């Protein structure tokens, strides 16, 4: 009897170990999908959108943030399985932190293409405008009809447009110009290009009247004042003003130490200022390396749908 009981216990132990091993191998296969890295306002892991679609949509979202302050991001993934899209979306929201800190005015459109599911995840600060009902209507009326016809780019574009119109009706704090430019480094390229032109071209007038040092100082001060008036950032204005002074002073000094060349004072610089490295990034609409969430919080508001 004791031997039989021992065999039963051994068989039971072996069964438990076998189940444990099966679970150990099965659990990694059903692990949650990793949250993608936030590389831009539009993250497409499926290749659904063309590069021009992404560039156009990113520019639209960038302009909206500059004007309104609120951030909107778009994420397209193949699947969220084994999670429901609601669970996956809130993990994305917590990781990306779209929207401004303590204002929480962010929203994320998440599309799981192979699952045929999508969701609009809404930050705390937008739940009064972009309500669950409104989010569901945007999905049903603007997005999914185009998804069913296979036009994903048009569906996302239409959904984002309506989300922006709804958010526009919500009174939010004005965007910080300095923070906006810190998030969009590409926008600084035209500013520095203008500083370069003003330092060499317009600055030559002041240097001719006031001398090299004083003229360069006056030019840098004017550039700083104009930059501060346009961008509203004292730190950025000071940096651009110093840059303008240095460029103007060095350019004038360079031409001064090359007498007899027959060139004008701006000659050695004029050939390179129009074709150099200032324009390469100014037309780019990519967010690569230039976009991050502002610290916004989410609480699960929004709506889901399918097509």
Report the CATH number of the 42-175+299-306 domain. 3.10.310.50
User: Percentage of residues in the chain with pLDDT exceeding 90?
Assistant: 46
Could you read off the pLDDT of 189-248 as tens digits, one per residue? Answer: 666 666 666 666 666 666 677 776 777 777 778 877 777 666 566 666 677 777 777 776
Question: What values do phi and psi take at 141, rounded to 5?
Answer: -95, -30
Is the pTM higher than 0.75? The answer reads: no
Q: Are 195 and 244 in contact (CB under 8 A)?
A: yes
Q: How far apart are CA 89 and CA 95, in angstroms?
A: 10
Domain span(s) for CATH 3.10.310.50 in the chain: 42-175+299-306
Structure tokens at 102: 């303590």
Which span out of 100-114, 161-175, 182-196 was modeled with the highest average pLDDT? 100-114
What is the pLDDT averaged over residues 156-182? 81
- From 302, 306, 307, select the one nearest 108 (Cα to Cα): 302
């Amino acid at each position: 009897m004791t031997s039989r009981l021992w065999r039963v216990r051994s068989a039971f132990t072996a069964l438990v170990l076998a189940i444990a091993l099966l679970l150990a191998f099965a659990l990694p296969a059903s692990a949650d999908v990793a949250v993608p890295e936030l590389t831009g306002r539009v993250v497409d892991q499926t290749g659904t959108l063309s590069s021009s679609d992404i560039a156009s949509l990113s520019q639209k979202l960038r302009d909206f943030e500059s004007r309104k302050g609120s951030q909107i991001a778009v994420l397209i993934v193949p699947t969220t399985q084994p999670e429901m899209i609601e669970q996956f979306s809130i993990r994305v929201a917590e990781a990306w932190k779209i929207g401004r800190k303590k204002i929480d005015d962010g929203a994320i459109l998440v599309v799981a293409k192979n699952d045929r599911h999508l969701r609009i995840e809404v930050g705390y600060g937008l739940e009064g405008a972009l309500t669950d009902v409104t989010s569901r209507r945007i999905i049903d009326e603007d997005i999914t009809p185009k998804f069913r016809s296979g036009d994903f780019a048009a569906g996302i574009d239409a959904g984002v447009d309506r989300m922006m119109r709804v958010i526009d009706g919500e009174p939010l704090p004005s965007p910080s110009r300095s923070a906006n430019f810190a998030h969009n480094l590409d926008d600084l390229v035209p500013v520095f290009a203008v500083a370069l032109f003003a330092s060499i071209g317009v600055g030559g007038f002041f240097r001719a009247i006031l001398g090299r040092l004083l003229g360069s100082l006056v030019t840098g001060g004017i550039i700083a004042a104009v930059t501060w008036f346009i961008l509203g950032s004292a730190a950025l204005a000071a940096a651009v003003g110093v840059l303008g002074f240095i460029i103007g002073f060095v350019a004038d000094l360079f031409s001064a130490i090359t007498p007899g060349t027959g060139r004008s004072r701006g000659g050695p610089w004029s050939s390179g200022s129009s074709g150099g490295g200032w324009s390469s990034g100014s037309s780019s609409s990519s967010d690569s390396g230039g976009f991050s969430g502002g610290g916004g919080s989410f609480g699960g508001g929004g709506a889901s749908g399918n097509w």
